[in-house]
Structures are given as structure tokens and as C-alpha cells.
Amino acid sequence: MTDIQAAMVDFAARQAERAAQADTRLQHLKQALIPQLQQAGIASVEIRFDGYGDTGAIEEIECRDAAGQVLACPEMFVAIVPDGDAAAAGEAKQETLNGALESLGYLALERHHPGWEINDGASGALMIDVGTATFMLECSLRYTGYEDHSTEL
């Protein structure tokens, strides 16, 4: 195997490992958040993001009750296990609910839409239905388009 082939195989293996770790962290965050959101009486959450020009951010986190009324994100804490590793549960750190929701949003974007903040960027939202424990990431990718026309006169 040539050096470039070995490098590509190594790169692919490391990418697969990072993807698996991100998936584990996502699952842990999802499982950690749902009981906390239920306890706070939150029925749904919308995490909005926007990015372009090589920068991007979670713009807003909106929590709603079952009647659809906006609620302030409660000042409560969620135990976050490093890398989602259940064996490291004793090393869990406490993060605010708002911070954990923001982390979930960034991790979901990194995992499913890497580069969402590059060039024309993307916008959208991660929606959480607490009652059904479902998470839906909606992402609108922007791009610059143009049409070429050539006419012989």
C-alpha cells in the first residue's frame, strides 16, 4: 500500500471513530435531557441556528409548555458524562439545562451538517418533542447560484 493509500485508510478510520463518538454523545445528551425537560413541564423545545461567512451560532432556545406558551428555560442542571461514556458516570459534570440544549444543537450540527457555518451557510432549528422524545433537525443550506448565457450576435 502506498503512503497516500495508507493515509486515506487511516483518515477514514479516524473519521468513523469520531462519528461513533459523536453519536454516543448525542444519545447521552438526548437521554439526559428528556427527564429534565419533563420535570420542568416543558413540552417542546426549538433550538434555532444561523451561520454564514465562516461563523455561526445557536441564535435562540425556546421552550414551550403543552399549551404552546413560551416558558423561560429553568435554572436547573443536567449531568453530562464525558464523551457520553457510561463507564465514566462518576466523572459527570453539571451543566445548565440551557447549556446542555446548546451543546446538543452544536453537536447535532457538527455530526449531520458539518460546515453549516461556512460560505453562504445554513439556518434552521432542532426541534424536540418532549412527550414523544423525538428530535428533528431541520437545516436549510444556502448557496450562491448563477446561470451562464451565451448568445452569438
Per-position DSSP letters for 110-123, written without gaps between them: HHHSTTTTSTT-EE
Whether pLDDT at 98 is above 70? yes
> What is the pLDDT averaged over residues 77-93?
71
Query: What pLDDT, on a 0 to 100 scale, did the predictor assign at position 88?
Result: 56
Whether pLDDT at 148 is above 60? yes
> What is the pLDDT averaged over residues 58-72?
97
pTM here?
Answer: 0.85
Q: How confident is the model at residue 80 (pLDDT cuts 50, 70, 90)?
A: confident
- Residues ≥6 apart with Cβ < 8 Å to 53: 119, 121
Q: How confident is the model at residue 117 (pLDDT cuts 50, 70, 90)?
A: very high
Give the chain's end-to-end CA distance (angstroms, integer): 56
> What is the pLDDT averaged over residues 138-142?
96
> What is the pLDDT averaged over residues 122-131?
98
